[in-house]
Amino acid sequence: MQSIKIEVERAERPIFFYDDDPDGLSSFVQFYKAKGAGKGVIVKSSPQLKPIYLRKVQEYNADVVFVLDKPLISEEFINGLDIPLRWIDHHESQKNWINGFKKDIFYYNPRDSLGMNIPVSDIAYRVFKENLWMAMVGAVGDWTLPEFSSDFCNEYPDLLDPSIKEPGKALFESELGHLIKIISFMLKGNTRRINSAIMSLLKVNSPYEILHQSSPPGRFIYKGVESIEKEYNKHLEEAKRAAKDNFLIYLYEGKRFSFTKELSNELLYLFPDKLIIVGRETKGIFKLSIRASNVELPPIVEAALQGLSGSGGGHEHACGAEVKHDDLDLFIERIKNFIKE
């Protein structure tokens, strides 16, 4: 934490690449506000930071690259860098891989140092100790209840009841959870609009500005997600009806937005005993979010992908995968068989 603080302090033109979810965005907001300078770039559509983003580094003339909450960075991206890289993450450790590069790289992952999964927004709060509500949005958004939850309950008693001790309950049955949904939905759709929403968020100092629409930037964010939230709720109601036996499989064709991550999380909360697969098809490819609370998913997903054109991976109880349309039935069949075994 000390090292992260020093690296942020000594940066002059930091560029921040961050994941397109509440944890990634919250991390960025905290780092950016602590520094009071720099440029943020949201990394959408892939868990990996790809070489195309090198252009952003050059355009901004950055002196250091921070990568927040991205599980992977492509080899080409790293090889193309001629400035320091500071990577803060909490997904599966890439320590051994990243140490193979002869470059100025610091890799921070609480799984290595503490053997714990601590979201990057939680780490950021421990480092900078500012923006409590923003930190809470990110940490609870990643399905954890951080140490500073009780501080948050004291300061914002109407957003989270201190009796709630379970992250899922905080996420889906509190006003804080509603705020997290808003932050998550504001990252969907048109890139220009997303960037305006992020600029607005940087001007917001209290969660009530958004929830009560009590300031122009807060209202802009709230208004921007109203139709998205409606569409999400429609999918959620439909998906709930798809629960069958030990599974809940809900597939939809992606018109505008991907909701697979959010839907699968909420469905897992509602159906904790089921294996959840939510998939969205675009251009012949299914992007899937897979959830289960009582099985270890990554080896199952990996085995189910054997010989198929696709990829996947993730956390113990939350995985993502990409499978071609024609391979989907076989993929699902295999997962079902593994579970039955």
Site for Mn ion in 74-93 (CB under 5 A): none
Q: Please, which residue, 148 or 338, has the CB nearer to Mn ion? A: 148
Site for Mn ion in 252-271 (CB under 5 A): none
With CB under 5 A, what is the number of residues at the site for Mn ion? 4
How far is the C-alpha of 104 from the C-alpha of 85, rounded, in Å?
6
Q: Please, which residue, 88 or 328, has the CB nearer to Mn ion? A: 88
C-alpha closest to that of 28 among 36, 40, 10, 14: 40
* Interaction of residue 20 with Mn ion, rule CB under 5 A: no
Q: Please, which residue, 23 or 266, has the CB nearer to Mn ion? A: 23
In sequence order, what are the residues at sequence separation of 6 or more whose Cβ sits closer than 8 angstroms to the Cβ of residue 341? none
- Residue range at the interface with Mn ion (CB under 5 A); choices 20-28, 214-222, 258-266, 291-299: 20-28
How far is the C-alpha of 290 from the C-alpha of 170, rounded, in Å?
21
With 0-12 / 13-18 / 19 or more C-beta atoms within 10 angstroms meaning exposed / middle / buried, residue 306 is: exposed
Please state the φ and ψ torsions of residue 307, each to the nearest 5 degrees.
75, -5
> Using an 8 Å Cβ cutoff, are 264 and 291 in contact?
yes
Closest approach of Cβ 321 to Mn ion, in Å? Answer: 18
Q: Please, which residue, 209 or 266, has the CB nearer to Mn ion? A: 266
Among 20, 23, 122, 266, binds Mn ion (CB under 5 A): 23
Closest approach of Cβ 119 to Mn ion, in Å? Answer: 5
Residue nearest to Mn ion (CB): 23
The string of DSSP letters for 54-89 reads HHHHHHHT-SEEEEES-SEE-HHHHHT--S-EEEE-
Q: Please, which residue, 88 or 211, has the CB nearer to Mn ion? A: 88
Closest approach of Cβ 59 to Mn ion, in Å? Answer: 26
Closest approach of Cβ 52 to Mn ion, in Å? Answer: 22
Closest approach of Cβ 27 to Mn ion, in Å? Answer: 8
- Residue range at the interface with Mn ion (CB under 5 A); choices 62-70, 101-109, 215-223, 250-258: 62-70
Closest approach of Cβ 157 to Mn ion, in Å? Answer: 26
> Using an 8 Å Cβ cutoff, are 180 and 141 in contact?
yes
Closest approach of Cβ 68 to Mn ion, in Å? Answer: 9
Site for Mn ion in 187-216 (CB under 5 A): none
Site for Mn ion in 90-149 (CB under 5 A): 119, 142
Among 69, 122, 209, 266, binds Mn ion (CB under 5 A): 69
Q: Please, which residue, 26 or 200, has the CB nearer to Mn ion? A: 26
With 0-12 / 13-18 / 19 or more C-beta atoms within 10 angstroms meaning exposed / middle / buried, residue 309 is: exposed
Closest approach of Cβ 69 to Mn ion, in Å? Answer: 4
How far is the C-alpha of 20 from the C-alpha of 1, rounded, in Å?
23
Rg (CA), the chain: 20
**Distance of CA 154 to CAs 162, 171, 340, Å?**
8, 18, 46
| Residues near Mn ion (CB under 5 A) | 23, 69, 119, 142
